[in-house]
Amino acid sequence: MPIFTPARRWQPPYYGFKREKPSRRALAATERVIKGALFGCRMCGNCLLQETAFICSMECPKGARNGPCGGSTSEHCYVDPTRPCIWYKIYERAEKLGRSEKLLEVLPPLDWDKVGTETWGDVWEQMRKVGVKKFFGGILSKETRHTAWESVFEPVRQPDWWQGDAVYHAPTYNEPISELERRLKAGEFVVTAEVAPPLTSATKKLCTNVNLVKPYVAAINFTDSPSATARMSSWACSIMALQNGAEPVMQIAARDRTRVGLQSEVLGATALGVKNILCLSGDNARMGPSPMSRLDVIDIDSIQMLWILRRMRDEGKYLDGREMKFPPKMFLGAAASPYASEPRFQAIREQKKVNAGAQFFQTNLVFDADRLDIWLNELAKRDVLDKVYILIGITPIKSLKMAKYMNNEVPGITIPDPLIKRLENAGDKVEEEGVQIALELIEKVKTKPGVNGIHLMAVGWEEIVPRIVREAGLLPVGFVEPPAMPKEPAKEKKLKLEPAAVPVVAPTVSTN
């Protein structure tokens, strides 16, 4: 167990991919031994200890370098329940040390050319550039200590290709990019909804659900392999939505992307008409089926995704510094978790996302409207509410089993006991009770300051969306009653003729 990091080292330290000079190898070996014992150092070559309250963020099994995931709790890490959530510990210690604001700086992804090498040599080289005498003279004075310290350490942790900071970057454009953004800017209380991507290559049901939902919502979300389980890609579903006259929100999970893949995929999607991008870190493979894929390091996290995409849009630059003549245009969103961890900690995380580039939030599912106020108040203290549009996640619970699963198994979601009791008492009318609970929650949250809309997650129950929107009084401005959806004729079961000794059997009918 490291002395200063409150968890055992998640994985062994890295070793360099290239052969360094003997002096650099000796320095790396020394750093590996000393920092390993003190901090559980993994030799990432991009040390951020001063920004993370001297707890190594590489102890996070997800490899998140900019804050906790949506499943963060004070009890344990959901990827490895035998360990504490390392980012909860970072936030806790930073608060005690009065260093919480340090956590707002948008930190870079790993530079794999440096992974496995030492950082001390970089610090020494930067100190020589500043002037060793000037540096030590500066840190001896209280007035100049911070400036002197940052003159050496900021260039080390913020390379020229990244240039992260802790301030808000407003969009550089004025006219709305998407219809969703237009409605939000116009002050409308909007509704977005999820349509589940299909499990096969068949798209008939997908298109039917898109056409069913689109008159009632401002945009339709398509998830990106939730629960680390493969489905049709959000990218493909978004294009299908555009072909059916609906505006998509393309979700994109960092779990399955490299920094190169992210940039190229978003360029392609925006060229084909996708204008709303929701950046997520993604559910860990721990939640997915066997065989389990790699758990430890994601190339980029959701905050880094936002930073990269915002700079592509507003500065016309790739991550590597190349300039583009025609930058992509997109309305950037992110997920928010009102009930994960402590609200004051989550507010730091949410502010960091807004600073990086998030223009709208779609929250995790909300089942306790009163507790939502605590999170909103923490955002208000950080002057965030006037910089981002917030859409509250609501779902109609279809069964008691579904409610218990979400409450017990899904990180970041809590269903109060009274609601569980109502569903238990509903018996065979549990679906109707779930709809009524959703309507009550919408009524409570839609008048809260800082709330700009509702994000309906029907979880495969898309046909309930029109009813909920109607009964909640949230029909969009200029709503036109859609024609009744034609009912498909019942399929006749074809009987297969068999010899007399064999009973007649009806074949399976595909529902896709």
pLDDT in tens, 100-143: 999 999 999 999 999 999 899 999 999 999 999 999 999 999 89
What are 38-76's pLDDT values in tens digits?
888 889 988 888 889 999 888 888 888 999 888 888 888
Decide which of 294 and 142 is more confident: 142
CB atoms closer than 10 angstroms to residue 382:
16
Q: What is the mean pLDDT of residues 365-369?
A: 94
Decide which of 495 and 26 is more confident: 26
Mean pLDDT of all residues in the chain?
90
Supply angle C-alpha 300, 305, 306, rounded to 5: 150
Q: What is the mean pLDDT of residues 149-154?
A: 93
> Are residues 465 and 212 in contact, defined by beta-carbon separation less than 8 angstroms?
yes
Burial class from Cβ neighbours inside 10 Å (0-12, 13-18, 19+) for residue 290 reads: exposed
Kindly tell me if the per-residue pLDDT of 153 is higher than 60: yes
Kindly tell me if the per-residue pLDDT of 512 is higher than 50: no
- 362: three-class secondary structure by DSSP: strand
- Which of 5-19, 51-65, 171-185, 477-491 bottoms out in mean pLDDT, i.e. has the lowest? 477-491
What are 313-349's pLDDT values in tens digits?
999 999 999 999 999 999 999 999 998 888 999 999 9
Residue 488 carries which side chain, given as an amino acid letter?
Answer: E
Query: What's the gap between Cα 26 and its chain centre?
Result: 40
Decide which of 408 and 316 is more confident: 316
Local confidence band at 508 (pLDDT 50, 70, 90 cut-offs): very low
Nearest to 350 by CA among 370, 374, 310, 379: 379
Kindly tell me if the per-residue pLDDT of 510 is higher than 50: no
> Are residues 104 and 166 in contact, defined by beta-carbon separation less than 8 angstroms?
yes
What is the pLDDT, as a whole number, of residue 506? 35
- 98: three-class secondary structure by DSSP: coil
What is the pLDDT, as a whole number, of residue 409? 81
Pairing relationship of beta strands 453-456 and 190-194 according to DSSP bridges: parallel
What is the pLDDT, as a whole number, of residue 460? 87
Query: What's the gap between Cα 77 and its chain centre?
Result: 17
Q: What is the mean pLDDT of residues 370-384?
A: 95
Nearest to 50 by CA among 143, 125, 158, 131: 158
What are 378-402's pLDDT values in tens digits?
999 999 999 999 999 999 999 999 9
> Does an H or E element contain 297, and which?
none
Nearest to 283 by CA among 411, 455, 110: 411
> Are residues 361 and 388 in contact, defined by beta-carbon separation less than 8 angstroms?
yes
- Which of 11-20, 123-132, 151-160, 434-443 bottoms out in mean pLDDT, i.e. has the lowest? 11-20
- Residue corresponding to tokens 């055992």: 8
Kindly tell me if the per-residue pLDDT of 147 is higher than 60: yes
Kindly tell me if the per-residue pLDDT of 260 is higher than 70: yes
Radius of gyration (Cα) for the chain, nearest Å? 25
- Spell out the residues 6+ positions from residue 488 whose beta carbon is closer than 8 angstroms to its own: none
What is the pLDDT, as a whole number, of residue 492? 54
Structure tokens at 33: 């031994």
Bridge partners for 248 per DSSP: 220
Domains and CATH numbers, the chain: 22-104+112-157 (no CATH), 179-471 (3.20.20.220)
Local confidence band at 227 (pLDDT 50, 70, 90 cut-offs): confident
What is the pLDDT, as a whole number, of residue 175? 96
Structure tokens at 476: 């969009």
- Rounded-to-integer distance, Cα 458 and Cα 476, Å: 18
Decide which of 57 and 443 is more confident: 443
Bridge partners for 365 per DSSP: 393
Q: What is the mean pLDDT of residues 481-493?
A: 66
| CA 344 vs CA 21, 267, 443: distances in Å | 46, 35, 25
Helices marked H in 244-339 — which ranges?
Answer: 259-271, 302-315
- Spell out the residues 6+ positions from residue 346 whose beta carbon is closer than 8 angstroms to its own: 68, 72, 336, 337, 338, 340, 375, 378
